[in-house]
Structure 1
Amino acid sequence: MYNIFLTVHSYLRWVVLILALVAIVKGLIGLSSKSKFVEGDRKVGLFFMISCHTQLLIGLILYVFLSPITQSAFQDFGAAMKNSSLRFYAVEHILVNVLAVILVTIGHSKNKKGISSASKHKNAVIFYGLGLVLILSRIPWDRLF
């Protein structure tokens, strides 16, 4: 079960990253061309947010129930904080990615309000961009698949 969830979590990261890039690029293009924030822009942001939430849910299941790494860290949290690899998975990876998902969700929520198209594109660039930076900073790149 652990390997299945870990594999899904590893492959889903690529969906998240691709959707993030598409949403941010669409936002940048919309800002620079002063175009309307259209349904396609909204849907890309929505799919990005959904993929982030799905990734977070799978990650939380791994974190709390399945991962031998976090189970080991929970047994002696003080010792885990002294081990950079255990600390990464027990604290840094989860905390920073939860913050990233919150930023993406805020960006999407702000864009549901009746604000100008320019503000919506700006929200997408800022909130999705910050979320992407945080996500990229905490991906374990040594485990690509």
Structure 2
Amino acid sequence: MYTGILHLHSYLAYVVLLGLTISFVYALIGALTNREFTEKDRKFGLFGLIPAHIQLLAGIVLYIISPLGISNFGDHTMADATSRLYALEHPLINIIAVVLITIGFSKSKKIAPARSRFRSVYVFYGIALILILSRIPWAAWPH
């Protein structure tokens, strides 16, 4: 079970990064061209939202069952950079990123001017994308 969840979490990261990038670029183009925010634009926002939430669920399960997750906490965790990354930094920063994605998508549904709706998506998704890229364990990244 551990190996399956690990592979799901590792390869779903590609889908998350692709979805966030597509959503970010699409919203940025929408804001720069002063287009009206339509149902199609809302669905493009979902390309970043849905994979990120699925990835979060897989990550929580992995965090619980992995020897590098919650069971890795101890006196040595903060002193060792790899242990700290897996036990604290990666999960915490990525949870914050998913919260930002959710806030950006939710705000885009409630704001009136179209440009502000696009801005909500590209600002929050962009910050989330930077956070996610900063905490990917590149040494373990599947090629």
Q: Which residue of 2 aligns with 1:89?
A: 86
Structure 2 CA distance, aligned partners of 1:98 and 1:9?
14
Given that residues 5 and 58 in structure 2 are in contact (C-alpha distance below 8 angstroms), is that contact kept between their aligned partners in structure 1? yes
The aligned amino acid for 2:44 is V
Structure 2 CA distance, aligned partners of 1:103 and 1:19?
15
Task: Extract structure 1 runs of 4+ deviating beyond 2 A.
Answer: none
Structure 1 CA distance, aligned partners of 2:71 and 2:63?
11
The aligned amino acid for 1:67 is S
Given that residues 10 and 141 in structure 2 are in contact (C-alpha distance below 8 angstroms), is that contact kept between their aligned partners in structure 1? yes
TM-score, structure 1 as length reference: 0.93
Are residues 1:100 and 2:97 paired? yes
* 1:36-75 correspondence runs (5 A): 36-64=36-64, 66-74=65-73
The aligned amino acid for 1:32 is L
> Residue by residue, what CA displacement relative to the aligned partner does 1:61-103 show, whole Å, maximum 9, x if unpaired?
0101x101125423x2x21111110000100000000000000
* Per-residue deviation, 1:114: 4.5
Alignment: residue pair count: 142
Specify every segment of 5 or more residues in structure 1 that has no aligned partner in the other structure, as ranges. none
Q: Counterpart of 2:141 in 1: which secondary structure?
A: coil
Q: Percent identity?
A: 46
Structure 2 CA distance, aligned partners of 1:31 and 1:71?
41
Structure 2 CA distance, aligned partners of 1:137 and 1:55?
16
* Per-residue deviation, 1:112: 1.3
Given that residues 101 and 124 in structure 2 are in contact (C-alpha distance below 8 angstroms), is that contact kept between their aligned partners in structure 1? yes
* 1:1-145 correspondence runs (5 A): 1-64=1-64, 66-74=65-73, 76=74, 78-145=75-142
Structure 2 CA distance, aligned partners of 1:60 and 1:36?
37
